[in-house]
Amino acid sequence: DVPVLGHCLGGQLMAKALGAAVTRNPVKEIGWGMVAVLDQPVARLWLGADLPSFLSFHWHGETFAIPDGATRIMASPWCPNQAFVLGRHFGMQCHVEMTADLIRTWCRDWAQEVEALAGRVASVQTPAEMEQGITEKVRALNAVADRIYDRWVAGLAG
């Protein structure tokens, strides 16, 4: 039973492998958005008791259902199933692994998708909006990622 951690598509694949549905999200979620950490003991175990919410990065149009036996631990206004935990496994929809360079690359590589939706869909930001305060936002996001990764790595020891 090797612990698995999945981001976005990885979280969707984990959910699917565990028997849960993966479906189109009601809206695309692209850019920075708040994620609530749900008041669950397992959420505190993974993220600490001092983190009720955080600003995360998002880029998805699909979402997963929570697998049987798993606990939903994070939610956002645009996508209620942002993360689940099942034992030592952690699946998430949001992107805590981001760097400023990676965000800029995605904005460049998928410019058509953003241009088609930004300004028309509230859950999609423009590249300029994503760039605002990017250094500080990424630094704070990486601190959240460290909490998750530290707990996940501890699970590798068995």
Select from 3.20.20.120, 3.60.10.10, 3.40.630.10, 3.40.50.880 the CATH code of 5-156. Answer: 3.40.50.880
Torsion of CA 148, 41, 25, 13, to 10 degrees: 50
What does the pLDDT read at residue 34? 98
Domain residue spans of the chain: 5-156
What does the pLDDT read at residue 158? 67
What does the pLDDT read at residue 62? 98
pLDDT means over runs of 10, the chain (158 residues): 94 98 98 96 95 98 98 98 97 98 97 92 96 98 98 87
Q: Cβ–Cβ contacts within 10 Å for residue 68, how many? A: 9
| pTM, to two decimals | 0.95
Provide the CB-side half-sphere exposure for 57 (13 A, CA): 29
What does the pLDDT read at residue 1? 78
